[in-house]
Chain A
Amino acid sequence: MSDDRKLTYAQAFNEAVSQMMEADPDVFCAGEDIGAFGGVFGTFAGLQAKFGERRVVDTPISEQAIVGLGVGASVTGLRPIVDLMFMDFICVAFDQIVNQAAKLKYMFGGDATLPMTITTAGGGGLSAAAQHSQSLEALLCHIPGLKVVMPSNPYDMKGLMISCIKENNPTVMIKHKRLLGMSAPVPTEAYGIPLGKGNIIRPGKDVTIVAYARMANEAISAAKELAEEGIDCEIIDPRTLQPLDTDLIIDSAKKTNRVVVAQEAVRFGGLGAEIASQIQELAFDYLDAPVSRIGAPFSPVPFSPALESHYIPDAKSIAKGVRDVMARR
């Protein structure tokens, strides 16, 4: 068991699920193509062979019933992991997610516990076009009753997924499709990362970049480039978007006095807007520049690589955002 054993982001997800299924007989997985096929992204590979068809269940292409399966099974005592393949498909299941999973506990006056995890894959960069590339996390974060998690690397993936499975509330784990092959050291043992705790990926003193999922990695590249220009970036990865680690973000804003928020989602009404708003409410007097938001233009995700490569924010657009914020006096 060497500490530098590497796993991909997809393998880290798989190992988290596998270890939790070993630890708790009430954990099961259900979703489209997750059995013998192992999931369209391979994230469930080998689980059915290991745990059998009783615990790793191939379902019809029925997103409402898949989430409903999770709601009904969790409220009656199991700990389901239900997979929605592409994040865009949450729209197909939105009643079960928003009106049922998120609300049963509250509507029942507390007389319900729903320890269920919805897993899905978001983000663009695969020329998958407008119905298979979206970043819809803001829709979910707006719903009281849900928790929303978006890991940016294999280590966080394993720890956060384990916490999602152990969590006693409906949680949405959003894998980023372009990070599935990312490889990094991941401890062999089962470990959790608390939901709602962000991470300072890179400490710095001049400007704060708040970025999650794939954008956290783009921010790291941007910070390297900016370091050569003498700009020292602090990168905060909230990791969990609901609940959001506001304290960590505010402390950093107070220290650096300048903040850029980077998201892959459409800029309007996104997480960046919420984060910027919280910063101006809680750290207005510390700011030397308006909080800047980097995000996608207000259009569906385009298909052609010639368009999509300009649509999705990257290290370059984040670096430009940082330079603009630094230029304010």
Chain B
Amino acid sequence: MDFSSAKQFDLHRRMVRIRLFEEAAGRLAEANKLPGFLHLYVGEEAVASGVCGALNDDDHITSTHRGHGHLVAKGGDFNRMMAELMGKSTGYCKGKGGSMHISDTSLGMLGANGIVGAGSPIAVGAAFANKYRGKGQVAVAFFGDGSTNIGAFHEAANMACALHLPIVFACENNEYGEFTPRDKTMAITDVVDRAAGYGMPGVIVDGMDVIAVHEAAVEAVERARQGGGPSMIEAKTYRFYNHHGVQNLGLKYRSDEEVAVWKLRDPIFTFEDRMIENGVATRANFDDIWAELRADIDTAIQFAEDSPYPTPDQITVNVYTSMTGAN
């Protein structure tokens, strides 16, 4: 597939937005300005961007504990995201969810999820509803290699195929389940080998190549939209930072050399080189884009810092629809 220069810039922009948001979040965490856990998506930007770039606004996605990138790629608002990470009342979740539950149902982003594997059954439900309504919407379940070892994933994949639902299972295989390498936790190298067992097609793509991801996503999403049922994409990718937090080197469970090799394949910088090489863009174009988006991030940080914290009377609000607290 040939993609227009506008589409290439669109995919690039999604990736840069993720990178800048995540690096800003990392800096704020190091400065102790973000409470709670932080799972950064840096290194994996091509996956969320390539897949979400193939979706419409009214398509649905479910996400993981490493979920900021998915929301950014689906069009998430920096201000509300940053405010949520700081636990402010102006955040996406009014300070009740934080990093691990960031969501925007109006964008079809049905939540980051603190439970590994729990998003896939929910994506199946969204896909069911989409088929039920018959308006051609699809759902994408983003999940990591590690979550394919949990029962919920198996149930979701099987049910999606049994009911022939319009869904794409998008695996981000970053080779580690938290701090344990993939080869210690599964006896296969490629997660996509599991797809055939459910009766769905699957492809492996270079998860550091946004065009490769996007190409596979366009095909899978189109298949789902046309009634062709579920399929799986396994994107081989890598998280540049630790499982949580911002440390990347000197970790006991993976070598610095391994990190360095993957970083040479940075999904954004390699794509920029390609776009320049192909005459689609100039370095000056990219300088402008980064500068523009950096300014957006600065605005978001300021917005979040200036925003009020939620007040204690909000604790029991939003537990139920039209009801505040039990008893």
**A: which residues have CB within 8 A of B?**
28, 30, 54, 57, 59-60, 62-78, 80, 95-96, 99-100, 104-115, 144-145, 147, 168-169, 242-244, 246, 278
Contacts and interface: CB of A to CB of B under 8 A. Distances in A.
Given A104-B111, A145-B319, A111 B104 contact: yes
Nearest to B113: A100
Contact of B105 (A71, A95, A111): A111
Contact of B111 (A80, A108, A169): A108
Given A71-B122, A72-B121, A111-B103, A106 B319 contact: yes
Contacts of B104: 111
B96 A73 contact: no
Given A109-B93, A144-B326, A75 B320 contact: no
B95 to A, nearest CB: 7
A54 B133 CA distance: 11
Nearest to A65: B155
A243 B323 CA distance: 10
Nearest to A69: B125
A59 B128 CA distance: 12
A68 B132 contact: no
The 10 closest A-B pairs by CB, nearest first: A72-B125, A68-B121, A109-B94, A65-B155, A109-B93, A62-B155, A107-B101, A110-B318, A72-B122, A168-B321
B247 to A, nearest CB: 27
B159 interface: yes
20 contacts: A30-B128, A64-B121, A64-B151, A68-B118, A68-B124, A78-B128, A95-B118, A99-B118, A100-B118, A105-B318, A105-B320, A106-B318, A107-B93, A108-B103, A108-B105, A108-B111, A109-B95, A109-B318, A111-B106, A145-B319
A107 B98 CA distance: 8
B129 A62 contact: no
B225 to A, nearest CB: 16
B317 A110 contact: yes
Contact of A105 (B95, B151, B321): B321
Given A65-B156, A105-B321, A111-B104, 13 more contacts: A62-B159, A66-B159, A68-B120, A73-B128, A75-B105, A96-B121, A96-B152, A107-B96, A107-B103, A108-B105, A109-B92, A144-B325, A169-B323
A126 B150 CA distance: 33
B103 A57 contact: no
A77 B129 CA distance: 8
B97 A108 contact: yes
Contacts, number: 163
Interface in B119-172: 120-130, 132-133, 139, 151-152, 155-156, 158-159, 162-163
Q: Which of B104, B120, B152, B320 has the most CB of A within 10 A?
A: B320
Given A65-B121, A76-B126, A113 B132 contact: no
Contact of B130 (A76, A80, A100, A109): A76
A24 B223 CA distance: 30
Contact of A76 (B60, B96, B162, B322): B60
Contact size range, B: 35 or more
B327 A243 contact: yes
Contact of A72 (B96, B114, B139, B155): B139
B187 interface: no
B6 interface: no
A169 to B, nearest CB: 5
B286 to A, nearest CB: 34
A62 B154 CA distance: 9
Q: Which of B95, B123, B327 has the most CB of A within 10 A?
A: B327
A69 B121 contact: yes
Given A75-B110, A100-B118, A243-B326, A169 B320 contact: yes
A64 B321 contact: no
A115 B62 CA distance: 19
Contacts of B93: 107-109, 111
A94 to B, nearest CB: 11
Q: Which of B133, B151, B326 has the most CB of A within 10 A?
A: B326
A113 B318 CA distance: 10
Contacts of A78: 128-129, 132
Given A74-B125, A106-B96, A100 B103 contact: no
